[in-house]
């Protein structure tokens, strides 16, 4: 079963709960536009490199489409479509005036020079500038892309359409970016973790947490949960995993990361196997790396009572059923990691107003949107006696469906 077909199962379950007609299901699931482009360039060694780029626009009933760009070898049309559809439901769950899209290039950025990465990014925009735009489709960072890549996108887009900082978000603060965008997804994940722990009658202070992935999302999640008083017991990245039963010294670990770029070798911890991180004896497990890591093969071994999906699509539907049976509470990606797109929205608003908000303003508004989203989803889950995941889909699909009908078909 493809990644998209797996994610569709959640949609279908929610559609069943809502009594959605077949026609409406097909309409809401069908993407608006799928674009696939060739990107060819001369590599540093003089060879020709040819790559495939994608942009899939899933739905625009509620506003311009919004979604990240992923540069990763596993990127393909199926994965991009799945991620684009998640963006449609995610922007609706936290009530941002956006639809959903996603894009990417199938490439290993760790093998590229700075010049090659810039060249590939600019060529991607050369091919796709007509489908992007501040009122149509606004890209942002995801795995393998960062603020620098967004700056190149803004610059290249301007060559075709003129000055338009709102055409892309996640830009550097020095170049029309928003304060707080870098930390936004991790901060949102921490806020949602605290809210979910409250429902389990457990304070965040002293809660034991394991985090898979220590990139943008994982590291900020660790830092902010640590500030809230949680104990981060174990973390991992693509190279290895570390653990300290007394809680890792996160400020020191962040310094270590700056120097060595991987968690391995950190003085204040023992090294563990990457897969044992997922089954660590903790209160909260936070997958914050790649998709499809919680499967029917390992679901029975998970000991956490709460899973917060910081990554997109980390849980397969089979694993999700096991978690429900084991009464492990799962807060879904389309709510848990919505902090990133929320502050991207703030950046877009600021760019359009040519007015920069203070960091405190960004954090205050992010907190409000995340807590409101959590409360709405929790209420639906309680009322309808369904999981928070299906409740989030019910909320998102309901909002997109109503906008579609009101706008006229």
* Residues carrying an active site annotation: 102
Looking at the Cβ atoms of 133 and 215, the one nearer to ligand NAD is 215
Can residue 143 be called a binding residue for ligand NAD (CB under 6 A)?
Answer: yes
CB of 307 to ligand NAD, least distance (A): 14
Can residue 172 be called a binding residue for ligand NAD (CB under 6 A)?
Answer: no
Residues 227-286 that bind ligand NAD (CB under 6 A): 236-238, 274
Distance CA 97, CA 308 (A): 25
CB of 122 to ligand NAD, least distance (A): 21
* Among the listed residues 99, 141, 373, 388, the single contact to ligand NAD using CB under 6 A: 141
Instruction: State the distance between the two ends of the chain, measured CA to CA, in whole angstroms.
Output: 31
Looking at the Cβ atoms of 4 and 15, the one nearer to ligand NAD is 4
Rounded alpha-carbon distances, angstroms, from residue 88 to 28, 217, 311, 329, 402: 10, 20, 16, 23, 13
Looking at the Cβ atoms of 167 and 288, the one nearer to ligand NAD is 288
Looking at the Cβ atoms of 337 and 387, the one nearer to ligand NAD is 337
The pattern of x and - marking residues 191 through 220 that bind ligand NAD according to CB under 6 A reads ---------------------xxxxxxx--
CB of 181 to ligand NAD, least distance (A): 8
Distance CA 232, CA 331 (A): 19
Rounded alpha-carbon distances, angstroms, from residue 204 to 196, 207, 222, 333: 9, 5, 12, 20
The one segment of 2-10, 139-147, 172-180, 364-372 that binds ligand NAD by CB under 6 A:
139-147
Reported in sequence order, the residue ranges of 20-128 that DSSP labels E, i.e. its strands, are 33-42, 48-59, 65-71, 99-105
Distance CA 189, CA 407 (A): 33
Residues 338-357 that bind ligand NAD (CB under 6 A): 340
Can residue 183 be called a binding residue for ligand NAD (CB under 6 A)?
Answer: no
DSSP string covering 314-361, please?
-B-HHHHHHHHHTT-EEE-HHHHTTHHHHHHHHHHHHHHHT-PPPHHH
DSSP letter assigned to residue 100: E
The footprint of ligand NAD (CB under 6 A) covers 141-144, 185, 212-218, 236-238, 274, 288-290, 310-312, 337, 340
């Amino acid at each position: 079963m493809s990644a998209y077909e797996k994610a569709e199962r959640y949609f279908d379950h929610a559609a069943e709960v809502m009594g959605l007609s077949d026609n409406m299901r097909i309409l809401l699931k069908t993407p608006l536009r799928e674009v696939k482009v060739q990107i060819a360039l001369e590599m540093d060694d003089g060879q020709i490199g040819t790559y495939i780029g994608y942009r899939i626009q899933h739905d625009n009933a509620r506003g311009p489409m919004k979604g990240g760009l992923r540069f990763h070898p596993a990127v393909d049309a199926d994965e991009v479509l799945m991620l684009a559809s998640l963006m449609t439901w995610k922007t609706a769950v936290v009530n941002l005036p956006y639809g959903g899209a996603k894009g990417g290039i199938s490439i290993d950025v760790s093998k590229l020079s700075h010049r090659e990465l810039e060249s590939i990014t600019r060529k991607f925009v050369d091919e796709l500038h007509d489908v992007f735009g501040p009122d149509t489709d606004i890209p942002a960072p995801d795995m393998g892309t960062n603020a620098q890549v967004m700056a190149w996108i803004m610059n290249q887009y301007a060559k075709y359409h003129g000055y338009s900082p709102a055409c892309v978000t996640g830009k550097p603060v020095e170049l029309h970016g928003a304060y707080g965008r870098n930390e936004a997804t991790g901060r949102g994940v921490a806020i949602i973790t605290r809210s979910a722990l409250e429902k389990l009658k457990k304070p965040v202070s002293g809660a034991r947490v394991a985090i898979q992935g220590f990139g943008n999302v994982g590291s900020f999640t660790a830092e902010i949960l640590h500030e809230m008083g949680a104990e981060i017991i174990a973390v991992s990245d693509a190279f290895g995993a570390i653990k300290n039963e007394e809680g890792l010294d996160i400020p020191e670990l962040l310094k270590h990361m700056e120097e060595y770029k991987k968690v391995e070798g950190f003085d204040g911890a023992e090294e563990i196997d990457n897969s044992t991180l997922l089954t660590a004896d903790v209160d909260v497990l936070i997958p914050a790396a790649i998709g499809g890591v919680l499967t029917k093969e390992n679901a029975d071994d998970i000991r956490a009572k709460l899973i917060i999906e910081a990554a997109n699509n980390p849980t397969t539907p089979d694993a999700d059923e096991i978690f429900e049976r084991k009464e492990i509470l799962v807060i879904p990606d389309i709510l848990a990691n919505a902090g990133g797109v929320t502050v991207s929205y703030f950046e877009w608003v600021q760019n359009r107003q040519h007015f920069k908000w203070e960091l405190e303003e960004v954090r205050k508004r992010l907190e409000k949107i995340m807590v409101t989203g959590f409360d709405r989803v929790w209420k639906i889950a309680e009322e309808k006696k369904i999981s928070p995941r299906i409740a989030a889909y019910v909320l998102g699909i309901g909002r997109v469906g109503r906008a579609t009908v009101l706008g006229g078909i």
